[in-house]
Amino acid sequence: MSEFEVIRRLLRDAPALRDDVIIGPGDDAAVLALPANHELVLTTDTLICGRHFPVDTKPADIGWKSLAVNLSDLAAMAADPAWITIALSLPQAQEEWLAEFVTGLFPLLQSSGAALVGGDLTHGDLSITVQAAGLVPSGQALRGDSAQVGDKVCVTGDLGDAALGLNIWLGKQPERDLETKQPENLTYVLNRLTRPQPRCKAGIALRGRANAGVDISDGLAADLGHMLKASNVGARLYADSLPSSEAFDALCEPEQRLQRQLNGGDDYELCVTVPDSELAALRSAIDCKFTVIGEVVDQPGLQLLDANQQPMEFPQGGYDHFPS
């Protein structure tokens, strides 16, 4: 297929454009109408084959995840998804690969309410760059530098599934007893890796209630640590409060539990700091599991406490794009 044939194939089954798209795909650039009293939230993520997903990942899962990681960033800012652009680098213009890619991308695009408004296509090693734009009422974006002493540290969903799934996929997870586990547990943690669920509705529910937020992409410890540093505060985390799925509990070796949950990355859950007075309202408003895992303190740094409130050694790690 030629470049323009690939583009036509990509757009053929795309969800309908939003009313605020004045000019969409096909021109040199998109023209979009911004609503009054709103601010624009922009984010960009690149996924590279062999670095951000294994080389044997299904194209549909690549399509889903390339969008999901950007929607997660918008959720962390309490923004409504609005528009996306995609830059694809493909080693070959294979119609079969592209058809599978959009079967993962477009359902999530449609459910998010965003529209595909442009992009780029080039020949090269497989990589996908998505830019997502969202809208938030003026002054209501959730920031990463506003955590307050006394806030509770909370997370959506469960932690550690994606890291466990990746280690199983790559053959790094100990094989002891894996064959005796329920196969649905293996499927579950692998799906959590390949098809993370961006917490868009939870992000919107956090508007005006949470003080600070971040999405968990590089690991809870790393991402929360960045937020605490930006806010000039610290936090205590309770190791026995970290939420986990039944599949994770069934498959994860006990000695690897904290490493996976604190440093594993790829969960794409939200970590937020919330005043006590807002917890009850948020538990009612958020459409997924919502767990208090610690509290913000004035002493800088991140402390980990056991069930007896005694300090624990923090497992080292966290994803680094440029390790030394």
Task: Give the model's pLDDT for residue 27.
Answer: 85
Task: Give the model's pLDDT for residue 177.
Answer: 56
pLDDT in tens, 108-135: 999 999 999 998 888 899 999 999 999 9
pLDDT in tens, 299-316: 999 999 998 999 998 776
CA 70, 214, 221 angle in degrees (round to 5)?
115
Question: What's the average model confidence in pLDDT over 246-264?
Answer: 93
**DSSP labels, 28-95:** SS-EEPPPTTEEEEEEEEEEEBTTTB-TT--HHHHHHHHHHHHHHHHHHTTPEEEEEEEEEEESS--H
Which residues on neighbouring strands pair with residue 131, listed in sequence order?
44, 85
Phi and psi angles of residue 176, each rounded to the nearest 5 degrees, phi first = -55, 120
Question: What's the average model confidence in pLDDT over 54-58?
Answer: 91
Residue 212 has pLDDT above 90, yes or no: yes
20-to-8, 17, 214, 242 alpha-carbon distances in Å: 22, 8, 28, 41
Task: Give the model's pLDDT for residue 322.
Answer: 34
Question: What's the average model confidence in pLDDT over 294-301?
Answer: 96
Task: Give the model's pLDDT for residue 317.
Answer: 59
Task: Give the model's pLDDT for residue 320.
Answer: 42
Task: Give the model's pLDDT for residue 314.
Answer: 78
Distance CA 234, CA 298 (A): 6
Please state whether beta strands 301-305 and 234-238 pair in parallel, antiparallel, or not at all (unpaired).
parallel
> Among residues of the chain, what percentage have pLDDT more than 70?
93
- The winner for highest mean pLDDT among 9-13, 36-40, 47-51, 170-174 is 36-40
Task: Give the model's pLDDT for residue 39.
Answer: 97
- The residue that leads in pLDDT, 178 or 214, is 214
- Domain architecture of the chain: domains with CATH: 3-137 (3.30.1330.10), 152-305 (3.90.650.10)
Indicate yes or no: pTM above 0.95: no
Lowest mean pLDDT segment, chosen from 67-81, 82-96, 221-235? 82-96
Question: What's the average model confidence in pLDDT over 155-177?
Answer: 84
Task: Give the model's pLDDT for residue 1.
Answer: 60
What would the two tokens of residue 123 be?
């020949």
Phi and psi angles of residue 250, each rounded to the nearest 5 degrees, phi first = -75, -30
Distance CA 282, CA 300 (A): 27
Q: What average pLDDT is seen over the chain?
A: 91
Question: What's the average model confidence in pLDDT over 249-269?
Answer: 93
Task: Give the model's pLDDT for residue 173.
Answer: 64
